Amino acid sequence: MAHQMKTFENGTALAASLADAVASALSAAITRSGEATLAVSGGSTPKAFFEALSTRALDWAKVKVTLVDERFVPEDNPRSNHLLVKTHLLKNEAAAAEFVPLYRPEATIEDAAKTASGIVPGMTRPFDVAILGMGTDGHTASFFPGGDHLAAALDLTLPRRVMTMEAPGAGEARLTLSFSALHDAGLLVVHIEGAEKKAVLEKALAGTDEQEMPIRAVLERAQTTPDIYWAP
Ligand SMILES: O=C1O[C@H](COP(=O)(O)O)[C@@H](O)[C@H](O)[C@H]1O
């Protein structure tokens, strides 16, 4: 299993180093292509990283930001990942970035996924940067164990798209980027913190069943070797 493990003394040091790496990758993409794309995860882990990244000086007006996954809830819902990104990332220097949400106020989540697939960045070419998280059940993005569309979400022969996912451990119905849209990002990061998640990662690295622990798809089959950022 190929991956780079980057270990830090604490979450603050991790956040600063990850923000520097992401800012550098986005700047390089802007120099190369005139624009850059960034997909970020939600949850509780990325807040300090978002705060640090928001202060990094780069041409944010040329950066499109979207989410790796989202609950099917509007932006003002406290469980919205959009709200998290708006509160902690889209400010300071990063206020100039364009945010493209996965959530769409359509009648059904299937319609929302279809609409989002036509709009969000990363659907026609690889993301410049994708930051994944991981739950203690071994999910990443909204690739949940027992998810109704898990097999299709992890199938690299299927097109890049936004998909729907329902799973016992997911709470609300989810919108998620497919693995095909994430695995070849220019910079692919798995960001985890705490002893419990380190133990989950070690368990994932010791086995192969992706249905049991979908993070294994990233660790085993991503085209881009993931950098794993961890702090206690
Ligand atoms: O449900 C989610 O959980 C994971 C991990 O979240 P955390 O709170 O344990 O950091 C996250 O990566 C994903 O984007 C989110 O929707």
Please indicate whether residue 41, judged by its CB atom, sits closer than 6 Å to ligand 1. Answer: yes
Please indicate whether residue 65, judged by its CB atom, sits closer than 6 Å to ligand 1. Answer: no
Q: Name which residue sits closest to atom 13 of ligand 1, judged by CA.
A: 42
Give the position of tokens 């190929």: 2
Please indicate whether residue 133, judged by its CB atom, sits closer than 6 Å to ligand 1. Answer: yes
Please indicate whether residue 68, judged by its CB atom, sits closer than 6 Å to ligand 1. Answer: yes
Please indicate whether residue 224, judged by its CB atom, sits closer than 6 Å to ligand 1. Answer: no
Q: How far apart are CA 198 and CA 171, in angstroms?
A: 24
Distance, CA 209 to ligand 1 centroid (Å)? 20
Q: Name which residue sits closest to atom 3 of ligand 1, judged by CA.
A: 43
Please enumerate in sequence order all residues whose Cβ is within 8 A of that of 76, keeping only pairs 6 or more positions apart, or say none.
83
% of the chain beyond a pLDDT of 90: 98
Consecutive 10-residue averages of pLDDT for the chain (232 residues)? 90 98 98 98 97 98 98 97 98 98 96 98 96 98 98 98 97 97 98 98 98 98 98 98
| The pLDDT value given to residue 1 | 61
Please indicate whether residue 200, judged by its CB atom, sits closer than 6 Å to ligand 1. Answer: no
Domains held by the chain: number? 1
| The pLDDT value given to residue 162 | 98
Q: Which amino acid, 59? A: D
Q: Which amino acid, 175? A: L
Distance, CA 188 to ligand 1 centroid (Å)? 16
The interface pTM score, or ipTM, of the predicted complex is 0.96
Please enumerate in sequence order all residues whose Cβ is within 8 A of that of 88, keeping only pairs 6 or more positions apart, or say none.
46, 47, 50, 51, 54
Q: What's the number of CA atoms in the CB half-sphere (13 Å) around residue 57?
A: 0
Q: How far apart are CA 10 and CA 61, in angstroms?
A: 31
Residue 174 alpha carbon, nearest atom of ligand 1: 16
Could you tell me where the DSSP H helices lie in 66-214?
A: 81-88, 109-117, 150-153, 179-182, 195-205
Please indicate whether residue 43, judged by its CB atom, sits closer than 6 Å to ligand 1. Answer: yes
Boundaries of domain holding 39: 4-231
Calculate helix-pair angle for 11-33, 47-54, nearest 10 degrees: 50
| The pLDDT value given to residue 109 | 98
Please indicate whether residue 138, judged by its CB atom, sits closer than 6 Å to ligand 1. Answer: no
Q: Which CATH number does the domain housing residue 83 bear?
A: 3.40.50.1360
Residue 68 alpha carbon, nearest atom of ligand 1: 14
Q: How far apart are CA 172 and CA 102, in angstroms?
A: 14
Distance, CA 193 to ligand 1 centroid (Å)? 12
How far apart, in Å, do the first and last CA atoms of the chain sit? Answer: 23
Residue 44 alpha carbon, nearest atom of ligand 1: 8
- CA torsion through residues 98, 99, 102, 106, sign: negative
Q: What is the pTM of this model?
A: 0.97
225 CB-contact burial (10 Å; exposed 0-12 / middle 13-18 / buried 19+): exposed
